[in-house]
Amino acid sequence: MSENNVTLENKDPFTVLVIKPNKIQHIDWNSQNYLNDIVSGAYCEYTMIEPSKYIETIGDILEVSKDKNKVVDVKLISETYVSDTHNMIMEIMFVIHEEDGDGEEPNEFAMLLDVNNNKLFGNVIVMCTLISNNDNEMKFINTTPEIVRNMLYSRANTKVITYDADEESYKEVEVMGPLDRFADDFFSENRYRIKKKELTFLKHNINVWYTEDKYGTLDTFGNILPDISRVDKMIVFSMWSEEYRHNLTMKEFDMIRFLSKKLNSYDVDDEVMKEETDALGRKIIKNKYKILHKFYNMKK
C-alpha cells in the first residue's frame, strides 16, 4: 500500500466493516435469521476510522505495515440508488494472495460479498461511500450490519418494473430467484409469446420482456420499443453481470423513459467518461446513476 497521503472529504470518524478469516458454509441459509447471523458473526468487527489516520489504520488492519511487499486491491461489490440526490457504492479492500492464500486462513464471508470471484484470505475491509448524483461530493459513511444485510437481501430480491395494460399501471416489484419463473407467472398463458430486447442506456444494462395484444398500450417505454408496439404486459430489469441481476427502481425507469425521447444516442461518449479529479485530487466516480442524472438534468 502506498504511503502517499489520502485526502478525504470526511471530517468526522466513520465506521468500516473488518471481516476476520472465517468459515460460514455450515450456516443454514434457509434459516429466517441467516442474513442477520452472517452480518453479525464474531468475525465481523465494525471499526471506527479517524480520517487523519486513514492510511495508517487501513495498513494495520490489512497487516501491510508488517510487509511492504503486500499488494492491496479494491473492488466494487454493490451500487445502490438512494435518492434523487445520492447513490451509494460498497467496496471491499483486501490483500492479493496466491491461490493457496500464502498461509492465510480463507475469508468465506468476504467471498460471499464479492461479485468478482476472487479468492480472499486474511482480513478484508468493507466500506461504503455516499456519492452525490449532482456534484462531486463523495464521503465515506458508516458501514453498519443493516447496510450489509440490505445489500445481500437486495442482491437476492431485485427490483424490477412491471406494466399491465389491464390495470394501466406500472409497478416496482421485488423478484426473488430466477426471472424466468416470475415471468411464467406474470405473462401466464402468453409466456410463450414473450418478445425480448436488451440494450445499454447511459451505462444501464436494460432488458425488456413484453407481450403484445391488439388492445394493448402504445408508448409504454418511450422510444425503447417500436412505435407500433401495443404492449399487453412488460417486465423491465437490469443486469449487473451475466451472473447477477441488478436493481432497477421506478425513478430510474421514469428517467430512462423520458430520456429515450430526448436523446439521439444512448451511448456515453469518451469526453463525458474521461478521467477527472475533484478539488481534493480524488478521481471523480462516474457511475451509471451519476451519468443518468447528468443527462436528465440537461434535458428536463
Query: Is the Cα dihedral 219, 223, 224, 228 positive or negative?
Result: positive
The residue out of 82, 110, 143 marking a domain boundary is 143
Q: Above 90 in pLDDT, residue 193?
A: yes
The answer as to whether 274 is a domain residue is no
Task: Quickly state the pLDDT bin for 184 (edges 50, 70, 90).
Answer: very high
Q: What is the residue type of 44?
A: C
Task: Quickly state the pLDDT bin for 204 (edges 50, 70, 90).
Answer: very high
The answer as to whether 59 is a domain residue is yes
The answer as to whether 80 is a domain residue is yes
Q: Which of 190, 240, 195, 246 is nearest to 221 (CA)?
A: 195
Q: Residues 244-261: pLDDT tens digits?
A: 899 999 999 999 999 999
The answer as to whether 185 is a domain residue is yes
Query: What's 60's DSSP letter?
Result: H
Q: Residues 271-284: pLDDT tens digits?
A: 999 999 988 888 99
Check residue 243 and give its pLDDT. Answer: 85
Same-domain pairing of 84 and 114:
yes
Strand runs labelled E in the chain: 14-19, 44-49, 72-81, 86-95, 124-132, 138-141, 157-164, 169-176, 195-201, 204-217, 231-239, 245-246
- Contact at 8 Å (CB) between 224 and 192? no
Same-domain pairing of 166 and 96:
no
CA distances from 109 to 38, 57, 58, 120 (A): 7, 22, 19, 9
Check residue 248 and give its pLDDT. Answer: 97
Check residue 5 and give its pLDDT. Answer: 61
Long-range (24+ apart) CB contacts under 8 A made by 261-270 are 261/222, 261/223, 262/299, 263/295, 263/299, 266/199, 266/200, 266/201, 266/202, 267/200, 268/202, 268/203
Domain carrying residue 174 = 157-259
The answer as to whether 22 is a domain residue is yes
Same-domain pairing of 192 and 219:
yes
The answer as to whether 37 is a domain residue is yes
Same-domain pairing of 51 and 101:
yes
Task: Quickly state the pLDDT bin for 99 (edges 50, 70, 90).
Answer: confident
- pLDDT, average across residues 90-107: 87
Same-domain pairing of 112 and 56:
yes
Task: Quickly state the pLDDT bin for 67 (edges 50, 70, 90).
Answer: confident
Same-domain pairing of 42 and 115:
yes
Report the percentage of the chain scoring pLDDT > 70.
98
The answer as to whether 286 is a domain residue is no
What domain count does the chain have? Answer: 2
Q: Above 70 in pLDDT, residue 150?
A: yes
- pLDDT, average across residues 212-228: 95
Check residue 159 and give its pLDDT. Answer: 98
Check residue 66 and give its pLDDT. Answer: 72
The answer as to whether 103 is a domain residue is yes
Same-domain pairing of 97 and 187:
no
Same-domain pairing of 136 and 165:
no
Same-domain pairing of 97 and 137:
yes
- CA 144 to chain CA centroid, nearest Å: 17
Q: What angle do CA 81, 245, 293 make, to 5 degrees?
A: 30
Q: Which of 223, 198, 205 is nearest to 292 (CA)?
A: 205
Q: Above 60 in pLDDT, residue 166?
A: yes
Same-domain pairing of 189 and 70:
no
Q: Residues 1-40: pLDDT tens digits?
A: 444 567 899 999 999 999 999 999 999 988 999 999 999 9
Same-domain pairing of 44 and 76:
yes
Q: Residues 100-128: pLDDT tens digits?
A: 777 789 999 999 999 988 999 999 999 99
Q: What angle do CA 90, 92, 98 make, to 5 degrees?
A: 155
User: For residues 16 and 145, what is the distance between their CA atoms, to the nearest angstrom?
Assistant: 10
Report the percentage of the chain scoring pLDDT > 90.
85
